[in-house]
Amino acid sequence: MATIKDVARLANVSPSTVSRVLSNSSRISEETKRRVREALEQLDYHPNVFARGLVTNSTGAIGILIPPSMNQFFVNPFFAEWMSGVSEVTREHGVDTVLSTSARDEEEVVDRMVRGRRVDGLLLLGTRPGDPVLRRVSDQKFPAVLLGRPADPIPVSWVNNDNVKAAHCATKHLIDLGHRRIGFLGGASEMVVTIDRVTGYRNALLEAGIEPDPRLEVSSFFLEQGGYLGMMRLLAMSDRPTAVLASDDVLAFGGMRAAAELGFRMPEELAIVGFNDIRLAELANPALTSVRVNMHELGVRCAELLLKQIESGSPAYISEIVDFELVIRYSCGAHAAARNG
């Protein structure tokens, strides 16, 4: 494997000159540049990323920290679409992305990434109150951007939807359709996103003069199976809901499977609204009404914000809110006829 020295020798210049050509320094004669480039080509030289990183103190990579509880996130289209937004930006900037899923010791992986200087900045997600990872990253004053708002008053940049407002909007939609008894099907209850969405749900209820019933709020894990189980619980109640707001489309899918198995007709006997508007939402039967949170856009904004932060070196904490939109299809019953037979 050719090193910079080999190139220098072949081109009859010093290593620093090669280095200068590599970084396209202005004050190098055209003639030398040519010679060096030729040698570069001939030896098929490529700079050792680590050696360079060691001296420049930068890595050309950002990290994504996936909390242990979130391995499911991989298989949730939500995460994938967010990632595709992130990746779009990093690709443009020629930056690599280091994925790190932590096992038991969440903080160990932060240390490896941050203090071990493996990456220049961190993208965080799925935070919850008391999150040790967020705390640690913030303490280190390491460039980082959080997807979602921080649960605790911790200084950090973040990008989020207004989940309270979004859940309020979706719930109000169901109320406007005449529902009074509305269930909430949530993911992990300790997660900020769940907390915010249940808050919006309750707010809408209260606003309409409906007393929130804790029994109508079920929460499980962020998987299809979780939605299935949760819906089973809801539908088993004697005073069961006539409509359900799911905190995630995959959860909604699971809920719909449960409802279908029990013979409920949707949306006539049970209206459903999901969250995130994954691509497959349109394909559910009936097509799922969902809150589009623009996951791809969230990914783009997260990555851009982080890259800007790294580049500028400024310690400013910025937060951004991405718009949402209620996409009305058939599962909520707003349209007279269901599309599928």
Binding site for a copy of itself (CB under 8 A): 1, 44, 46-51, 53-54, 59, 61, 66, 71, 74-77, 79-81, 83-84, 87-88, 90-92, 96-103, 111-113, 115-118, 224, 253-254, 256-257, 260-261, 263, 265, 279-280, 282-285, 339-341
Taking the complex as a whole, the smallest distance from the CB of residue 12 to a copy of itself amounts, in Å, to: 23
Peptide bond before residue 153 is cis, with ω within 30 degrees of 0: no
319 contact partners, CB below 8 Å, separation of at least 6: 149, 157, 158, 159, 160
**78 versus 184: smaller Cβ distance to a copy of itself:** 78
**34 versus 339: smaller Cβ distance to a copy of itself:** 339
51 near DNA, judged by CB under 7 A = yes
> Which of a copy of itself, DNA, none does residue 26 bind (CB under 5 to 8 Å by kind)?
DNA
206 near DNA, judged by CB under 7 A = no
Q: Which residue's structure tokens are 């899923």?
A: 101
The DSSP output letter for 288 is: P
Taking the complex as a whole, the smallest distance from the CB of residue 113 to a copy of itself amounts, in Å, to: 8
**2 versus 208: smaller Cβ distance to DNA:** 2
- Paired sense of beta strands 144-147 and 96-101, if any: unpaired
Taking the complex as a whole, the smallest distance from the CB of residue 29 to DNA amounts, in Å, to: 4
**How many whole angstroms separate alpha carbon 220 and alpha carbon 197?**
14
Cβ atoms of residues 76 and 251 within 8 Å: no
94 near DNA, judged by CB under 7 A = no
Backbone angles phi, psi at 293, to 5 degrees: -105, 0
| Member of 37, 43, 47, 225 binding DNA (CB under 7 A) | 47
24 near DNA, judged by CB under 7 A = no
**101 versus 199: smaller Cβ distance to a copy of itself:** 101
- Determine the distance from the C-alpha atom of residue 292 to the mean position of all C-alpha atoms in its chain, rounded to a whole number: 14
Cβ atoms of residues 76 and 136 within 8 Å: no
**How many whole angstroms separate alpha carbon 126 and alpha carbon 150?**
10
**36 versus 89: smaller Cβ distance to DNA:** 36
48 near DNA, judged by CB under 7 A = yes
Q: Which residue stretches of the chain are H helix?
A: 4-11, 15-22, 30-43, 49-56, 77-93, 106-110, 132-139, 163-176, 192-207, 224-235, 249-261, 295-312
> Which of a copy of itself, DNA, none does residue 28 bind (CB under 5 to 8 Å by kind)?
DNA
Cβ atoms of residues 210 and 180 within 8 Å: yes
**How many whole angstroms separate alpha carbon 235 and alpha carbon 237?**
5
**107 versus 190: smaller Cβ distance to a copy of itself:** 107
| Residues at the contact surface with DNA, assessed by CB under 7 A | 1, 3-5, 12-20, 22-23, 25-29, 31-33, 45-48, 51-52, 54-56
